[in-house]
Amino acid sequence: MSTPRLRIGIDTGGTFTDVVAVDEVTGELTVTKTPSTPADPAVGFMAGLAKVLGLLGADTVAVASISHGTTIATNQLLESDVGELGFVTTEGFEFMLEIARQSVPDGYGNSYFWVKPSRIVPPDRVRAVGGRLDHTGAELRPFDEAQAVAAARWFRDRGIDTVGVCFLHSYANPAHEDRMAAVLAREHPRSMVSLSSRVLPEYREYERAMTTLVDAAVKPRVSRYLASIASQLDGLRPGGVPLHVMTSSGGVATAAEVAGRPIGTVLSGPAAGAVGAAVIAQAAGISQVLTCDGGGTSTDVAVVVGGEPALTTEGSVGTYPAKIPMVDVVTVGAGGGSVAWVSPEGVLKVGPRSAGADPGPLCYGAGGREVTVTDAHLVLGRIPPHLLGGEIQLDRSAAQAGLEALAARLGMTAEDCAAGILEISAWNQANAVRQITVKRGLDVRDFTLVTFGGSGSLLLCPLVEILGVRGVLVPPSPGNVSAFGLLTVDVRADYVRTCVARHDNLDYGGMDAIFIALASQARAALSAQGFRADQHQLTRTADLRYYGQAFEVRVPVGAEVFGLAVADAAAEEFHRQHRALYGYDFRGDPRQRVEWVNLRVTGTGPIPRPRLARLAAGDGDPARALTGRRNVVFGRSAGGSGGSPPRGSTAGGSGGSPPEDSTAGGSGGSSPRGSTAPATETAVYWRPLLRAGDVLAGPAIIEEYGATVPVHPGYEAEVDKFGNLLVAMRR
């Protein structure tokens, strides 16, 4: 019987399910992909597992653990599919959701109305229960058991089986919510319940209620999904396989923990990608990066400073706020499957709607009827006439016909229309980058862009021009970086307690006791997952603001006994970060007092990270990787001289063979007749045959299993010691 030695990361995306396996004995990485199955993502998950085990010639006995990134909760919320929810709240606060928060979605200059989000629960499905706590958790009025029983029976009789509970000030004392949960379990045993005191024990009643209800909404589907996977894993191996799920905060948790608090999985896939990209970039000596994860449905952008992705608690998924710790990600509908369409004003638009995996782009030949970004890339020759190294053949004629029909409505050629689609898609991605940098006080020119995902690197040269970043790093197997990231993240447990107090009037002993209690919870969670006490890593932070402000800034808090020196150091860091974010601070102004709001402890259980393999040095001649040439259109006015292939194009080398149809001939390579955009004869390289130190001058196309990197005229790509491509404007 083989010894468990394989750790496997499986990331389910909108179009493909990505799989990476690391052999803990040899350190060898194996990557693969399989089409996602939106109707039942568990099918794609199990297919991916079977595929990678087949490549390794192993069975499930060899699997030590699986880490999974899932879009189940995210997709459900993006589709606003929350089902029939019930809501139980404190008597007198039945219209908390109606009060909500107000926002101007398009800025003051473009909107005439103050807009509130739609209610997640209509008023007729809200039940109020008597009882009252104050902000310290002290009971002002006792819990009304009779009203609680009536509420539970009301939901039961109407078949409302998913219920969120949020009582006033329950973050300070969960007693009333615990009693409500007991009543629901007794009177409505089939109900699934989320309690705000467990989901989000922080003040701000609206955000806490909404986060709790979002958790309740996704709980049935996520629970069924994880139970299905666990059942199938049990069938493959007695006792099953240890399964962890990526959380939005950049760590992993057990499947059982996630099923109890599924809101923690929103944006889990993008979080894994940001973490994986951070590890790869740091190994390459780059600590300030912007990650750009382009998939089939969307592009996710995050900031990494000092090797760590930025976190936020002010995130949202679709129209729903989710006030939980999450990697700060901005998502735009700009993926390979994004649909190109003509607005009523006759303007070309791209996204956010996507053709997804089913039916997919026109060129998939699976019933798609709308032009997508992938179709535009294919017609312009920027991608080969296949995906996954030849496993999936693409129909260029179908893409061409669709583009001609769309272009006719716009009065332009099909090739100009395709180039326009890609320009718009690049600007959509660039705007996402600006949202996460400029709006947060960061200068995009200080960063290196890391592009990954199946489509993330296809537009990297236009992004350099638009944004002015230092350059772009493209990891090996970029389509599998999110799955790789799942193998680099640690077990993480986050705990928070609201404690509002002025800085000049802190109860040091009381706050130290809160930190100790939170640390105890974190240690218990890590111990339950098998981590020894000496492996526990605890981090203390706090949310601070100036008195009168509505939002906070999170700062680190020293690990020493909480006292004057530790508090003052945290306040000083708050002033510094406030100035970095907003351009000013009130350091030294006695009228602007600092206020403490939330105390936090994060417990981390470290997991060994895969070793990044070093690439052998080459002889300086990348011709060994040349597979042929094809005509490529790089833009409506890109032009550029046709690049001559390097000398010695028959040179051999190890590292895998290119697919037979990756050369210029066939369906992917000729210049379209009547194109007004100049086509450039372009050298095509097979990336696994490149070596450290190789430099490729654009125009060039670099292909590998699962991804393609177009290097435009005027750019060059250099291969570093880890096999990363470093792309920048030619000096």
Residue 316, classified by CB atoms within 10 Å of its CB into exposed (0-12), middle (13-18) or buried (19+), is middle
71 and 105 part of one domain: no
- The last residue of one of the domains, among 547, 578, 605, is 605
Q: Let me know if residue 547 belongs to a domain.
A: yes
Check residue 441 and give its pLDDT.
77
Q: Are 148 and 181 in contact (CB under 8 A)?
A: no
**Nearest Cα to Cα of residue 251 among 230, 271, 227, 270:** 271
306 three-class SS = coil
Q: Let me know if residue 467 belongs to a domain.
A: no
Q: Please determine, for residue 329, whether its predicted confidence score (pLDDT) is greater than 50.
A: yes
> Percent of the chain scored above 70 by pLDDT?
91
Express each pLDDT in 33-89 by its tens digit.
888 888 889 999 999 999 999 999 998 888 988 999 988 887 788 777 888 999 999
Peptide bond before 359: cis, by omega within 30 degrees of 0?
Answer: yes
Cα separation, 464 vs 382, in Å, equals 17
* Residues of the domain holding 145: 80-221
Higher pLDDT, 216 or 298: 216
188 and 227 part of one domain: no
Cα separation, 422 vs 208, in Å, equals 40
Express each pLDDT in 144-196 by its tens digit.
999 999 999 999 999 999 999 999 999 999 999 999 999 999 999 999 999 99
- The last residue of one of the domains, among 265, 280, 296, is 265
118 three-class SS = coil
168, 595, 495, 245: CA torsion to nearest 10: 100
59 and 123 part of one domain: no
Residue 211, classified by CB atoms within 10 Å of its CB into exposed (0-12), middle (13-18) or buried (19+), is buried
Q: Please determine, for residue 687, whether its predicted confidence score (pLDDT) is greater than 80.
A: yes
96 and 211 part of one domain: yes
Helices (H), 38-195: 41-56, 72-78, 96-99, 145-157, 175-187
CB atoms inside a 10 Å sphere around CB 592: 14
Which letter does DSSP use for residue 613 in this model? Answer: P
Cα separation, 307 vs 276, in Å, equals 10
Query: 493: which 2 tokens?
Result: 């447990």
Q: Let me know if residue 422 belongs to a domain.
A: no
- The last residue of one of the domains, among 221, 254, 273, is 221
Task: Give first-to-last CA distance, the chain, whole Å.
Answer: 57
193 and 182 part of one domain: yes
Q: Please determine, for residue 311, whether its predicted confidence score (pLDDT) is greater than 60.
A: yes
Q: In what order do the strands lie in the sheet with 252-254?
A: 29-35, 16-23, 6-12, 63-69, 243-246, 252-254, 491-502, 594-605, 537-546, 553-557
Predicted confidence band of residue 677 (pLDDT cuts 50, 70, 90): low
Predicted confidence band of residue 108 (pLDDT cuts 50, 70, 90): very low
Distances in whole angstroms, Cα of residue 414 to Cα of each of 120, 592, 676 = 44, 60, 9
Q: Let me know if residue 383 belongs to a domain.
A: no
Q: For 325-363, give one letter per residue: b (16+ CB within 10 A) or e.
A: bbbbbbbbbbbbbbbbeeeeeeebbbbbebbbbbebbbb
Q: Let me know if residue 415 belongs to a domain.
A: no
User: Which range, 42-46, 117-121, 657-661, has the best average confidence (pLDDT)?
Assistant: 42-46
Q: Can you give the CATH number for the domain in which 555 is found? A: 3.30.1490
Give the residue carrying structure tokens 């996977």.
229
Q: Are 200 and 164 in contact (CB under 8 A)?
A: no
Express each pLDDT in 249-269 by its tens digit.
888 888 888 888 888 888 787
Cα separation, 576 vs 597, in Å, equals 18
Check residue 309 and give its pLDDT.
85
Cα separation, 598 vs 586, in Å, equals 20
503 and 543 part of one domain: yes
φ/ψ (deg, to 5) at 342: -110, 125
Check residue 410 and give its pLDDT.
92
Give the residue carrying structure tokens 């194109």.
675
Q: In what order do the strands lie in the sheet with 85-90?
A: 126-129, 85-90, 162-166, 192-195
Express each pLDDT in 582-601 by its tens digit.
888 998 877 678 999 999 99
Three-state SS across 227-263? HHHHHHHHHHCCCCCCEEEECCCCCEEEHHHHHHCHH
What mean pLDDT comes out for the span 209-223? 92
How many domains are contained in the chain?
4
At position 521, the amino acid (one-letter code) is: Q
Cα separation, 242 vs 214, in Å, equals 27
Q: Please determine, for residue 580, whether its predicted confidence score (pLDDT) is greater than 50.
A: yes
Cα separation, 442 vs 440, in Å, equals 6
108 and 210 part of one domain: yes
Express each pLDDT in 270-286 by its tens digit.
888 888 999 999 999 99
pTM above 0.85, yes or no: no
**DSSP codes, 174-199:** -HHHHHHHHHHHHH-TT-EEEEHHHH
Q: Are 703 and 630 in contact (CB under 8 A)?
A: no
| Longest Cα–Cα distance in the chain | 86
214 and 236 part of one domain: no
Check residue 464 and give its pLDDT.
94
15 and 137 part of one domain: no
**Strand pairing class (348-354; 192-195):** unpaired
Higher pLDDT, 576 or 655: 576
Q: Are 249 and 271 in contact (CB under 8 A)?
A: yes
At position 537, the amino acid (one-letter code) is: Q
Check residue 103 and give its pLDDT.
59
| Ranges 29-43, 460-474, 515-529: which has the least confidence | 29-43
At position 32, the amino acid (one-letter code) is: T
Q: Let me know if residue 46 belongs to a domain.
A: yes
Q: Are 698 and 645 in contact (CB under 8 A)?
A: no
Q: Let me know if residue 407 belongs to a domain.
A: no
Q: Please determine, for residue 637, whether its predicted confidence score (pLDDT) is greater than 50.
A: no
Check residue 640 and give its pLDDT.
35
Strands of 62-170 (E only): list them.
Answer: 63-69, 85-90, 126-129, 132-133, 139-141, 162-166
Express each pLDDT in 359-368 by its tens digit.
889 998 888 8
137 and 251 part of one domain: no
* Mean pLDDT of the chain, nearest integer: 86
Predicted confidence band of residue 641 (pLDDT cuts 50, 70, 90): very low
49, 723, 461, 674: CA torsion to nearest 10: -70
At position 275, the amino acid (one-letter code) is: V
Cα separation, 524 vs 7, in Å, equals 25
537 and 577 part of one domain: yes
251 and 171 part of one domain: no
Cα separation, 544 vs 555, in Å, equals 7
Q: Are 424 and 349 in contact (CB under 8 A)?
A: yes
Predicted confidence band of residue 2 (pLDDT cuts 50, 70, 90): low
Cα separation, 130 vs 180, in Å, equals 11
What mean pLDDT comes out for the span 488-506? 89
Q: Can you give the CATH number for the domain in which 58 is found? A: 3.30.420.40
Q: Let me know if residue 408 belongs to a domain.
A: no
What mean pLDDT comes out for the span 479-486? 89
Contacts for 395 with CB less than 8 Å, ≥ 6 apart: 362, 363, 364, 365, 667
Check residue 114 and give its pLDDT.
55
Give the residue carrying structure tokens 């459900």.
76
**DSSP codes, 636-699:** TTT--PPPPPPS-TT---SS-PPPTT-SSSGGG-SPPTT-SSPEEEEEEEEGGG--BT-EEESS
